[in-house]
Every structure is written in structure tokens, then in C-alpha cells.
Amino acid sequence: MPARMLGRLTAFPLAFALLLTGGLTGCASRGPAQVETQIFAMDTVMSLALYGEDQTSLQGTLDGLVDTLYQLQNTLSVTDEASELSALNRSAGQPVSLSAQTEEVLSAALELCALTGGALDLTAYPAVKAWGFTTGEYRLPGAAELTELAQHIDYTQLQLDSFAHTACLPQGMEADLGAVAKGYAGDVLAGQLEQAGVTSALLDLGQSTILAVGDKPDGSPWRIGVQDPAGESYLGVITLSGQAMGTSGGYQRYFEEDGVRYWHILDPDTAAPARSGVASVTVVGDKGLVCDGLSTALFVLGVDDGIQLWRDHPELGMEILFVLEDGSLVLTPGLEDSFTLAQEGREVTVVS
């Protein structure tokens, strides 16, 4: 990979970064009116903050966003037996009717599965369950079980009929949208804010999935803390202006056995936790779903294949920050100016 060292990243004290970022996300200077809330949805804590001129209308818009999040959770959840996704997983090859929203998210996510050569695979769910990531009752599946599970991971078997608005999934296979649902939710909320005329908002959909609408009320970009995958502290800050960001990492959900860490992002080829030498991947782009889905996929692919994907698909408009297991960083040039390290001393490579 052609690469050059980046010597001019400035560093600033960590406490300053935390103050600026208000925890995981950016903390805005006060505009004339501001509303915010935190809710628990899609198995994570989400924080929404809206800025504008009129408190009452902002509050109405915020209430609408919260309703949408609960509705999306009901539709897209894999554990709620009443959800469309559960119906698909029980369908044993029979076509299941889809709402426009479920069809939209499945179709966009399947495109990413194809684009990433199956590194993202919505049908990894039986393997995710086998490791205990859905219940917290963790276990190590044996080699034969993993081979069997991997044989049944194949997103091409999930077929959408865009005329009949149905989907089919063969018996023995199950799909989940855990890798893309929060990003998709961010896109839906951003559309709602646009309709309401809100031009400054920060939507933290949890687990480092962020939608930055416009800029902060003072016109400066949002400042988002990026977690150090090797610790509790912050690695640095990314500035966002009307952009989405998604991070996937082995530190987000994992268990340890005999000193080995097993995390919730699986390699569809092996049905086991993906080990590509990457500790976390952050993707910045226009769409939440794309950033969320690609961060998961790039964690599986690793740096070399991930950068190749970035080169092959400029139309995606994505920028990437890889944190490798040895603590070094690899970033694409579009992040060179918008990413600032919290502390100096890391090897940083900007690809070209």
C-alpha cells in the first residue's frame, strides 16, 4: 500500500478533548433554543440534541424522532417475535410481506453485502447466537459446529422481490440487521429533521454511530470523540459537518476465555470472531447506513482489503480511520484535516 507518514497531526491534552466532546459526542455552544433527550432503544443508549429558534417546535420534532426510533426498533428487531424480521426468520422459504421501510433497509444492506464481497453478511445471525452474543450466555462453538454454521451464512440466499414487496429466506437460515440498523435509523431521523427545517442537530445512535446534521449552532463543525479501542480513554477527535460516522470494534461487545478475547463481529467465512489485525474501524460518509455497515465489513476485511475497497468505490464518498491492534493508525486522506490525535506518540499512516 503506498503510504506516507503523517507528521503534522497536532496533539492536545486528553482532558481538553473530553471537555470538548462531552463524552462520546460533541457538546455544542448554546443557540437560542435547544432540546435534548436520551433513550434506550435498539439495545443501546441513544442521545439526540436539536438546536434552532423555537423551543416548542423543536420539542415537537424531538418527540417525533423518539416515536420513530421506537417504531424502527419494533420493525427491525430480530428478538421481538412480532417484528417483520422475525417473521422472515421463521418463514422457512415462504415469501414474507415487507413494509416499505423494511424493504428499503434490507435492499440497501444487501447491496453492501455484495459490495464487500460478503464481509458484511446479514445471515451471520445463527453464528452470532451460537457464540451467545444475543443472550450474554457465551460459549465457544467447536470446529465442526463452526464449519456447519459458516456453510449456512450466505446473504445471496436472502432474496427480495421488489415487485411483490416480499422476501424469502431458506429454512435453517436467519438474518439480522444489527450491523446497519442504527445507521439506518440515523438516516431516517435526519430526513425527518430536514422536513422539519432543523439544520443543526447531533444524533448519537449509540455504539459510536453518529449523524451530525449541519454544524453546531455557532457554525463550527461538530467534534466527536473517537474511543481508544485499547482503553477507556479517547484516541482523538473527528470533526463532522452534515456527515455520518460509524465505528466498529472488538472492544464493544466481547467475552474472554483462557486469556483470549472473542468479540461480536464475525468473519462470515469462519463463523468465528473476525481477526484481521484491526482493533477498530471508523467510517465517515454521507449516509448512516453505509457508514455503519461498512465499519462492520471493514473490521472483517482488515486494512489492505479495506483500502482496496475504498480505492475501488470512490462513489461511496467514505473516509476511513483504522486503529490496528499494535496501536498504530491508518487513515484515508479525507480525514487528515478532520482528525486530531489526543496524544502524540502513535504511528500514523495516511494512504494515498
Are the C-beta atoms of 282 and 245 separated by less than 8 Å?
A: yes
| Partner whose footprint covers residue 202, from ligand ADP, Mg ion, none (CB < 5 to 8 Å by kind) | none
Task: Please identify, among the stretches 46-54, 114-122, 257-265, 287-295, the one whose residues bind Mg ion according to the rule CB under 5 A.
Answer: 287-295
Task: Please identify, among the stretches 80-88, 145-153, 172-180, 184-192, the one whose residues bind Mg ion according to the rule CB under 5 A.
Answer: 172-180
The nearer residue to ligand ADP, 42 or 190, going by C-beta atoms, is 42
Q: How far is it, in rounded angstroms, from Cα 251 to Cα 207?
A: 10
Residues contributing to the site for ligand ADP (CB under 6 A): 120-122, 124, 128, 133, 176, 178-179, 207, 209, 248, 252-253, 264-266, 268, 292, 295-296, 300
Long-range CB pairs of 252-255 (<8 Å, 24+ gap) are 252/207, 252/208, 253/133, 255/132, 255/138
| Partner whose footprint covers residue 224, from ligand ADP, Mg ion, none (CB < 5 to 8 Å by kind) | none
The number of beta carbons lying within 10 Å of the beta carbon of residue 144 is 8
The nearer residue to ligand ADP, 121 or 215, going by C-beta atoms, is 121
Q: How far is it, in rounded angstroms, from Cα 148 to Cα 146?
A: 5
- Report the site for Mg ion in 175-194 (rule: CB under 5 A): 179
The nearer residue to ligand ADP, 148 or 154, going by C-beta atoms, is 154
Are the C-beta atoms of 276 and 269 separated by less than 8 Å?
A: no
Nearest distance from residue 111's CB to Mg ion, in Å? 15
Q: Which of 130, 147, 146 is nearest to 138 (CA)?
A: 130
| Partner whose footprint covers residue 276, from Mg ion, ligand ADP, none (CB < 5 to 8 Å by kind) | none
- Polymer length in residues for the chain: 352
DSSP string spanning 56-104? Answer: HHHHHHHHHHHHHHHHHHHHH-SS-TTSHHHHHHTSTTS-EE--HHHHH
Q: Which residue is nearest to ligand ADP (CB)?
A: 178
The nearer residue to ligand ADP, 62 or 85, going by C-beta atoms, is 85
Nearest distance from residue 246's CB to Mg ion, in Å? 5
Listed in sequence order, the DSSP H helices in 181-225 are 181-196
What are the residues binding Mg ion (CB under 5 A)?
Answer: 179, 292, 295-296
